[in-house]
Structure 1
Amino acid sequence: MPAAVLLVVAAAIVGRRLVASGVELFLGWPPLLAEWLPHVGPGTPAAVVVAVGTVVWGPELAARLRWGALLAAGWAAAFAWTLSLALVDGWQRGVVERLTSGEEYLHDVPRVAQLGGIGPMLRVFSDHILTTAVDPAQTWFWTTHVGGHPAGAFLLFTVLDRIGLGSGGAAGVVVMLVGSSAAVAVAVTLRALGHEDLARRVLPFSVLFPGAVWVGVSADGLFAGWLAWGVALLALARGPLRAFAAGLVLGYALYLSYGLVLGALFPLAVLLTTRRWTLLVPALAGVLVIVAAFTAAGFWWFTGYEYVKVIYAASAAASRPYAYFLWANLAALAFALGPATIAALGPGRETSGLPRAATWLVGAAGAAILLADLSGMSKAEVERIWLPFAVWAVVACGALPRPRRWLVAQAALALVVNHLLLTVW
Structure 2
Amino acid sequence: MSSSSASPQTPDGSVSASGPSEASPDGHDHPLPDSTLRRRDLVAAGAALLLFAAMAGIGGWLQRDSYVLRSPFPPLEAWWRPHVGGGTPLAVAVAVLVVGYGPPLAARLPWRALPWVAWTAAMAWTWSLALVDGWRRGIAGRLMETGEYLTQLHRFDDLGPALRTYTDHILINSPQHWTTHIAGHPAGAVLTFVGLDRIGLSGGVWAAAFVMTTGTSLVVAVLVTLRLLTGEQKARAAAPFLVLAPGMVWVGVSADGYFAAVAAWALALLAVSATRTSPTARAAAGAGGGLLLGGACYLSYGLVLLVVPAAVVLLCARSARPVPYVLAGAAVVVAAFTAAGFDWWQAYGLLRTRYFQGYGGVRPYSYWFFGDLATVVAAAGLASVAGLRRVMAGVPALVRARLSGDRRSIAAVLLPCGFLSAMLAADLSGMSKAETERIWLPFTLWLPACAAFLPRGDHRGWLATQALAALLLNHLLLTGW
Write the deviation string for residues 346-383 of structure 1: whole angstroms up to 9, x where unpaired.
Answer: 37976669722132210111101100111110101111
Question: What RMSD, in angstroms, separates the aligned Cα atoms of the two structures?
Answer: 1.5
| Post-superposition offset of 1:66 | 1.1
With normalisation by structure 2, the TM-score equals 0.84
Tell me, yes or no, if structure 1 residue 39 matches structure 2 residue 95: no
Q: Matches of 1:347 and 1:195 in 2, distance apart?
A: 17
1:422 Cα offset (Å): 0.6
Cα distance change, pair 350–408 in 1 and its aligned pair in 2 (3 A): farther
Residue type of the alignment partner of 2:145: S
User: Structure 1, residues 83-134: CA drift from partner, whole Å, max 9, x if none?
Assistant: 1000000110001221111200001111111xx2x222211111111121xx
Q: Where does residue 78 of structure 1 map in the other structure?
A: 122
Q: Could you tell me which of 340, 343, 353 is aligned with 1:310? A: 353
Matched, 1:20 2:60: no
Q: d(CA) in 1 for partners of 2:322 and 2:391?
A: 36
Which of 400, 413, 416 in structure 1 is aligned with 2:454? 400
Q: 1:161 to 1:201 in 2, by over 3 A?
A: same
Q: For the residues of structure 1 that align with 2:389 and 2:319, how far apart are their CA atoms?
A: 31
Distance 1:267 1:9 in 2: 33
Match of 2:430 among 376, 387, 392: 376
Q: 239, 244, 248: which is aligned to 1:212?
A: 248
**Is the counterpart of residue 418 in structure 1 residue 474 in structure 2?**
yes
- Number of the residue aligned with 1:9: 53
3-state SS in 2 of match to 1:99: helix
Provide the secondary structure at the position in 2 that maps to 1:405. Answer: helix
Shift of 1:37: 0.9
Match of 2:133 among 64, 89, 98: 89
**Does structure 2 retain, via aligned residues, the 8 Å contact 1:63–1:200?**
yes
Deviation of the 1:270 alpha carbon: 1.3
Q: Which amino acid aligns with 2:77?
A: L
- Which residue is equivalent to 2:271? 235
Q: Equivalents in 2 of 1:323, 1:139: separation in Å?
A: 33
Of stretches 9-18 and 103-112 in structure 1, the one that deviates more from structure 2 is: 9-18
Aligned partners of 1:98, 1:52: CA distance in 2, in Å? Answer: 27
Q: Please say if 1:252 is aligned against 2:306.
A: no
Q: Does 186-195 or 398-407 show the bigger shift?
A: 186-195
- 1:342 equivalent in alignment to 2:385: yes
Residue matched to 1:131 = 172
Contact kept, 8 Å, 2:224 with 2:268, in 1: the verdict is yes
Amino acid in the other structure paired with 2:184: G
More helix as a share of residues: 1
Aligned to 1:198: 234
Checking the alignment, whether the CA contact within 8 Å between 1:23 and 1:319 is kept in structure 2 is no
SS of residue paired to 1:68:
coil
Instruction: Encode CA deviations 1:251-273: one digit per residue, 9 max, x unaligned.
Output: 10000000000112222111111
The alpha-carbon distance between structure 1 residues 350 and 197, as it changes in their structure 2 partners (threshold 3 A), is farther
Partner AA of 2:165 in structure 1: V
SS at match of 2:298: coil
Report if the CA contact (8 A) 1:351-1:399 is conserved.
no
Relative distance call for 1:281 and 1:323 in structure 2 (3 A) is same
Contact 1:343 1:349 in 2 (8 A): no
Q: Which residue of 1 aligns with 2:4?
A: none
Gap regions ≥5 residues in structure 1: 133-137
Per the alignment, residue 97 of structure 2 pairs with 53
Q: Distance in 2 between matches of 1:106 and 1:351?
A: 46
Deviation, 1:193, is 2.4
For residues 175 and 270 of structure 2, what CA distance do their matches in structure 1 show? 43
| Alignment partners' CA distance in 1, 2:284 and 2:454 | 37
Give the aligned residue type for 2:162.
M
* % identical equivalent positions: 50
Which secondary structure does the structure 2 equivalent of 1:361 belong to? helix
Partners of 2:79 and 2:50 lie apart in 1 by 21
Give 1:275 deviation, angstroms.
2.0
Corresponding position of 2:184: 148
CA offset digits 1:187-233 (Å, max 9, x no partner): 01111225111110111100001000101000111111110001111
Offset at residue 2 of structure 1 (A): 2.1
Cα offset for 1:345? Answer: 2.0
Would the aligned equivalents of 1:361 and 1:393 in 2 still touch at CA under 8 Å? Answer: no
- Contact 1:149–1:256 (Cα < 8 Å) also in 2: yes
Higher radius of gyration, 1 or 2: 2
Q: Read off the aligned partner of 1:411 and give its amino acid letter.
A: A
Letter in 2 for 1:374: L
Q: Partner of 2:240: helix, strand, or coil?
A: helix
CA drift of 1:32 comes to: 0.8
Secondary structure of the residue aligned to 1:355 is: helix
TM-score normalised to the size of structure 1? 0.95
State the shift of 1:71 in Å: 1.0
Is 1:157 aligned with 2:213?
A: no
